[in-house]
Chains A and B, each alone.
Chain A
Amino acid sequence: MVAKAFDEMTAFGSDIRSGYEFVNAWLAATPPELLRQRQHEAELLFRRIGITFNVYGDAEGEERLIPFDIIPRVLTRPEWDRLSKGLTQRVTALNMFLKDVYSKAECLKAGIIPEELVYRNPYFRPEMQGLSLPHDIYVMIAGIDIVRVDAETFYVLEDNARTPSGVSYMLENREVMLRLFPDLFAKHRIAPVENYADELLNTLKSVAPRSASADPTVAVLTPGPFNSAFYEHSFLADKLGAELVEGRDLYVRENTLYMRTTEGPKRVDVVYRRVDDDFIDPLSFRPDSVLGVPGLMSAYRAGNLTLANAVGTGVSDDKAVYSYMPEIIKFFTGEEAILKNVPTYRCREPDALKYVLENIEELVVKEVDGSGGYGMLVGPKSDKATCAAFREKVRAHPEKFIAQPTLALSTCPTFVEEGVAPRHVDLRPYVLSGADGVRTVPGGLTRVALKDGSLVVNSSQGGGTKDTWVVDPPVLPTSQAKIKTPVVSAAPAKEIDHTQQTQSQS
């Protein structure tokens, strides 16, 4: 059975943990009707802003809202600082690993990771071999999924090094919380996240190709309005001041990428693409793709274009490679991994396979290239028949699976039908890598499994989101100095006294 989960507000007992005192006090002072009212207002705000997502194969609910929970998830500054250091280290290693597998392959020669996991990986792109990218950066935008099991232990559950999504929720959740609870923000020191888009723009421009002008042109490539994450694509383009382009808006001539504009062709230097490798260029990858741009890879290979993220980064974030991350970090950075991996059984290894087949009811089994919570077995939550069926799948293709112990994911107080109750959460912080280093913004997307006891936080499977607050300890108020600005004169007013005028005319 799943062990009792660590609650981020009350640990394993009923003492309020440091950092959560104000949340506890706030919840105690706020009647449930008021919370329900705020929850309702939050939904209206999300509807008005238009933060909806499309569910594939669901004609009825074409535009759905991801459920939002109004109780924030709190991380203390020291907790965040440790996470941030660990994330920076991990993403640095991911970039070095990618540079290496597409050039000298020294980590493979050193036996850090089995060769076939790289070369036979469906996400390995031979087109990338020998290609030199600006500043050797492959993963400009990473989303690292983190789970917590106790006060001290954060595990990395998954690396997302292709097109991690969800950052618009991090930003919009904060906007909504600012609107709903300005007094909480005024009274507590909650680190802002709104500069993310600015940092992203810096990052993207910093990795522009050498042939680009001093002020490179950035565009965001979307598959189009039918994509489930279209809202996010348009949101980010707007925040970046970049054109939101589809494949048909672009073309390649003489190894240079252009967009069709009313003023004629305009060169594009950096594409923040939210289209998978497979679809990005029908001449190089899937020939049936209408989402991509024919010849894009030729511009890329000629060094006239930066793609963010680079092509072929999927080789670093699949679940089989994941299990080697501690060794990869050690090999490239010379340091022990600050953030631990979840202990992982690689079914491709006979001993591990044997253990997994015998204990499948206790384990979480995942496909190495699955995502979105699909193709996954949560042993303790599944009946015997499902487990047996999964056992056969694993036996047939062991290399396609990994297994992990069922983690007791931490819980956070969450406002559900019955009132405030603990629900399991994870965290996806976003990590940016540019020419001037690796950056994080203090926070991330907290996903919450709204069903009691559920461990699946994916939005496609009934999960919701929360705002994530990195909170500094309170400072003793110092006397607020008056700001030294010249007092500007009062606004000119109509000379007639308005009170008299109102009276005289009523």
Chain B
Amino acid sequence: MLSRTADSIYWLSRYIERAENTARIIDAASRLAALPAGYGGSTNEWESALLSTGSLTAFEQQYDVASAENVVEFLVFSGANPSSIKSCLEVARANARAVRTALTIEMWETINTAWLELRSHSSRGLDLGRLSDFLRFVKQMSLTFDGSVYRTMLRNDAYYFSRIGVYIERADATARIIDVKYHVLLPPGAQVGGSLDYFQWSSILRSVSALTAYHWVYRQNLKPWLVADLLILNSEMPRSIAACYENITRYLDLLARDYGRQGPCQRLSRATSSKLESANITEVFQSGLHEFLADLIDANNRLGATITEQYLV
């Protein structure tokens, strides 16, 4: 297929995934911001949301205070924020239009409908009381899009690029979410009895919709190192970095098989995969959780750039 078409499909998928991640991060931040100080609501959760979405610097150029209203406006509507939900949907739609024929009708309609609906929301009109409805709409859109990709797309290279886009974006988001909160995540065996950080941990899980999953996997109350384990190393958890890399590796291999050629992407992806497979959470904490995540984010960015070089330009 054309590199340009592959590029559009890849980024389209990334931006839809990003819109959903931003919606989850806002949702989790608004819950944590609703807690009284002393239950974990003491730090500025809205600033954490900006950090998790990688948009704090851009935000500070526009606003003085990280208040709920300002942050929501910036993360949801701001045209000045290239990762705002609105910007994400606009880029996604622009890419979808560019390669309209490479998409199925269901995929196109999902994006176009969401884009039309978003235009009817004006930034000033969204009070915080309506926020959760709006975030639900964003998540719903992403679920519908994912479902239409899964159920209607041919299983060929176009599909592989769309999956790779989703998982590269997701690995990045999960790593950032954990990294912003790494200071509340303690190593195995740490004394956590009656810790007020409970609500911080549950918020991390909520921002990747994994609170219920946590209980099903570990069948015990929240332990910070298990939260880290679930989101980094547990490949059963579809938003864990390990699961993302399992998938990235798989779809890159399918590309290599179809094209009859391996390249630097496949090597980079396999290296990260095997690093995640062989790691255990105790060692991760020993070598430094933040350093581990910083390396992952870095490797993920490098892989993204390499995919672009190898296939998309």
Contacts and interface: CB of A to CB of B under 8 A. Distances in A.
B111 to A, nearest CB: 13
A454 to B, nearest CB: 31
B34 A178 contact: yes
B180 A485 contact: yes
* Chain A CB within 10 A, most for which of B18, B34, B214, B220: B34
A191 interface: yes
B129 A183 contact: yes
Nearest to B127: A183
B172 to A, nearest CB: 7
Looking at chain B's contact residues, is the secondary structure mostly helix, strand, loop, or mixed? helix
Contacts, number: 145
B83 A201 contact: no
A488 B179 contact: yes
B39 to A, nearest CB: 6
Contact of B128 (A183, A188, A202, A241): A183
A46 to B, nearest CB: 14
A483 B83 contact: no
B198 A198 contact: yes
B218 to A, nearest CB: 7
B94 A489 contact: no
Interface in A162-199: 178-183, 185-186, 188-192, 194-195, 197-199
Nearest to B293: A488
B82 interface: yes
Nearest to A500: B94
A492 B34 contact: no
A240 B95 CA distance: 43
Nearest to A37: B129
A485 B183 CA distance: 8
Given A485-B51, A491-B18, A182 B132 contact: yes
Please classify how large the interface on chain B is, using the bins under 10, 10 to 19, 20 to 34, 35 or more: 35 or more
Interface residues of A, number: 53
Interface stretch (B54-62, B150-158, B258-266, B276-284): B54-62
B199 interface: yes
Interface in A481-506: 481-494, 498-499, 501-502, 505
Interface in B245-298: 290, 294, 297
A27 to B, nearest CB: 15
Contacts of B294: 486
Contacts of A202: 221
B105 interface: no
Interface in B26-58: 30-31, 33-39, 43-44, 47-48, 51-58
- Which 7 residue pairs spanning A and B have beta carbons closest together? A241-B215, A185-B34, A189-B36, A498-B91, A491-B54, A179-B132, A198-B221
Given A198-B198, A492-B304, 5 more contacts: A186-B33, A198-B222, A485-B180, A488-B51, A492-B301
Interface of B: 7, 11, 14-15, 18, 30-31, 33-39, 43-44, 47-48, 51-58, 68, 79, 82-83, 87, 90-91, 93-95, 97-98, 128-129, 131-133, 172, 176, 179-183, 198-199, 202, 212, 214-222, 290, 294, 297, 301, 304
19 contacts: A41-B133, A178-B31, A178-B34, A182-B129, A183-B68, A183-B128, A195-B202, A198-B198, A217-B219, A241-B215, A241-B218, A480-B43, A486-B179, A488-B54, A491-B53, A491-B83, A492-B304, A494-B7, A494-B14
